[in-house]
Every structure is written in C-alpha cells, then in structure tokens.
Amino acid sequence: MSGWEESLTEAPADQPATARAERVRQAMRQHPLFSFFFMAYAFSWIISTPYVLAVWGIIPGGTFQGGNIIEALLFNIKAWAGPTVAAVIMTSLTAGSEGLAGLRRRITLWRARWQWYVFVIVGAPALMLFGLIIQPGVLTSFQGLTSAIVVTYPIAFLVVFFQDALAEEIGWRGFALPRMQPRYGPLRGTLLLGVVWGFWHVYDFLTPNRGGGPGTSVTTVMTSFIIFFLSVIALAIIITWVFNHTRGSVFVASVLHTSVDTPQLVWIPLFVIVNAIILNVACLVGFGVAAVLIVVLTRGRLGYELLEERARGREV
C-alpha cells in the first residue's frame, strides 16, 4: 500500500475527528501537486456542472446560452472556484502565512521591463493574427474595425483579466509552475503543466463557448479540442518563458493570458468566417512557431536560470 493510500485509510471509530483531519492534511502536504490539481479540477467542474447540464437540456435552464443567469454566473467563476481556491489552500498547508504572503507579492508584482509588456500586450495578439491571416479566405472576410473598439477592447480586457486570466494564473503559474520547474525541469515541467491545463478546459467543449453543445458532431468537437490542446501546450511554453524573465510575476502572466483571450471576444469575430477550428488553428500556428523558437534559442531552459538567480537575490 502506498503512502498516499495509507494516509487516507479510514481511522478507527474512536479516533478524534481532528486527528483524522490532520492525517488528510499531512497527505496533502506530502502530495502537494496532486492535491492542487485534484481540487482545481473538482471545484471547477462541480461548479460548472449545472450550466453544462442546462445547455444539454438535462436540467431546466433559461435563455442565457442554454442556462439561466445563476448557472452562467457559476460557470464564469469556475477559475476562481478551482485553481485559485486550490492554490490558496495548498499554499497555506505547505508554506503557511509566509507562503501566502509570497504568493500575494507575485500576484501584485507588476514591475517588469517595458519590452515584456509590449510582447504580452501586442506580441501575443500579433501571433494569433499571423495564424489567422495565413489561412485561406480569412483576411478577405475581415469586416473592418470600428471606433467602438477603442472603448470595448479595454473594458473587455479588464473583465477577462479579473474573471478568468488572473484566477487561472494564481493556480497554474502561482502555485504549480514554481514547484514543477525545480522538480521536472523547466521544459518538462511546462509540458506537464500544459497537459493538465489543457484538459482542465474539457467541459468548455461541451458548451457553445468552444463550438460544442447539442447538435455538434463528435468529430468536430474532438478535432477542435485536439488543436486547442496543442495550442495550450505551446502557449504554456511562452508563458513560462515570460514568467521566468519577470521574476515569477503572476501579474504579467495574467496580462499575457488576457491578451490571448480578449481578442477572441472583440476583434477576431470581425473575421466573419472564423469558427472554433479556424481560431484554434491560428493559435496553434502562431504560438507553436514562437514556442519552438523559444525552446531552440534557450535550449529548453526557458530562462529558468535567470529566475533562480533572482530568487537567490542576485540581479542578472
């Protein structure tokens, strides 16, 4: 029997509840990454289930994309309920108040060289745009920008940042990545995190949010998810590279994440023929090319040595 199984073996009936709870906490401390990922998935998927069931007509729903307002609201806070809550719980268990203070510092660590902000705000959308316009017919389908985008884009950016990006990154890059890079190495750790991060989005493909839902063929959903999954792994490499060069800033990683999601809501729909598959192909091409270049040019280290040096208090 493994240590994990032994730690969860049912305690004798006369053992105090506090002692049993301490055994569970100890097991979680011994397996912090497993515990974090388990909770991140469980909390997010549980809170998302009513919306998904409403979309498929299994439970009553209103007219808000298949579910009622409450179900949609729960679905939209899934990142806070999952990765964020799991990160706070596990940071508290493994590092206590000092660890939580460190996590808060990295969440609010906004100081970085201006070149990194240019890359995360302009470069990431440019990579997606490159992946779009090289696909046949996409460029000619562009309807043109309107003056309203000057207002709608910043508003959408703030909404996406606080609703999704920051909430996810507190978990993926705030808790998981700093523990996976030392354990597995920067490239392997990033690839493993990318796999977990990609599969976390599976339930999105059961809804119209990712081109799924009732009436969508299994082949279409599977094709879209596979392409999306590969693009997420490529994006994970880019985020790790930025993360390592910005002193482990969760804030900058969140801005990058936001810069990927916001165009999908605001200006990419102006290309009228773009569907879920075309968009995922664009992300895969754009992020894939950048990720390969980063891996080759850094020899798979993704700037990790720089992060280590700064963590030891030596500016490089």
- Specify the pLDDT at position 1: 46
Residue 316 has pLDDT above 60, yes or no: no
Q: Is residue 75 part of a domain?
A: no
Number of H helices and number of E strands within the chain? 16, 0
Tell me the pLDDT of the chain averaged across its residues: 90
pLDDT tens across 162-177, in order?
Answer: 999 999 999 999 999 9
Among 57-61, 211-215, 234-238, the range with the most confident prediction by mean pLDDT is 234-238
- Specify the pLDDT at position 195: 98
Residue 295 domain boundaries: 111-311
Looking at residue 70, the DSSP 8-state letter turns out to be H
Q: Is residue 225 part of a domain?
A: yes
Q: Is residue 192 part of a domain?
A: yes
Quote the CA–CA distance of 282 and 228 in Å, as a whole number: 10
Q: Which of 6-20, 136-150, 163-177 has the lowest mean pLDDT?
A: 6-20
Given a contact cutoff of 8 angstroms between Cβ atoms, the answer to whether 183 and 264 are in contact is: no
Q: Is residue 157 part of a domain?
A: yes
Q: Is residue 67 part of a domain?
A: no
Quote the CA–CA distance of 279 and 264 in Å, as a whole number: 8
Q: Is the dihedral of CA 189, 192, 193, 194 positive or negative?
A: positive
Residue 48 has pLDDT above 60, yes or no: yes
Report the number of distinct structural domains present in the chain. Answer: 1
Kindly state the average pLDDT of the residues 67-91: 87
Burial class of 31 by CB neighbour count within 10 A (0 to 12, 13 to 18, 19+): middle
Q: Is residue 100 part of a domain?
A: no
Q: Is residue 236 part of a domain?
A: yes
Residue partners of 74: CB distance under 8 A and separation at least 6: 47, 48, 50, 51, 81
pTM beyond 0.85? yes
Q: Which of 47-51, 57-61, 171-175, 284-288 has the lowest mean pLDDT?
A: 57-61
pLDDT tens across 219-276, in order?
Answer: 999 999 999 999 999 999 999 999 999 999 999 999 999 999 999 999 999 999 999 9
Q: Which residues pair with 271 in a beta bridge?
A: 142
Quote the CA–CA distance of 257 and 169 in Å, as a whole number: 8
Q: Which residue did the predictor score with more confidence, 6 or 87?
A: 87
Quote the CA–CA distance of 68 and 47 in Å, as a whole number: 14
Q: Is residue 42 part of a domain?
A: no
Relative orientation angle of helices 218-245 and 304-311, to the nearest 10 degrees = 50
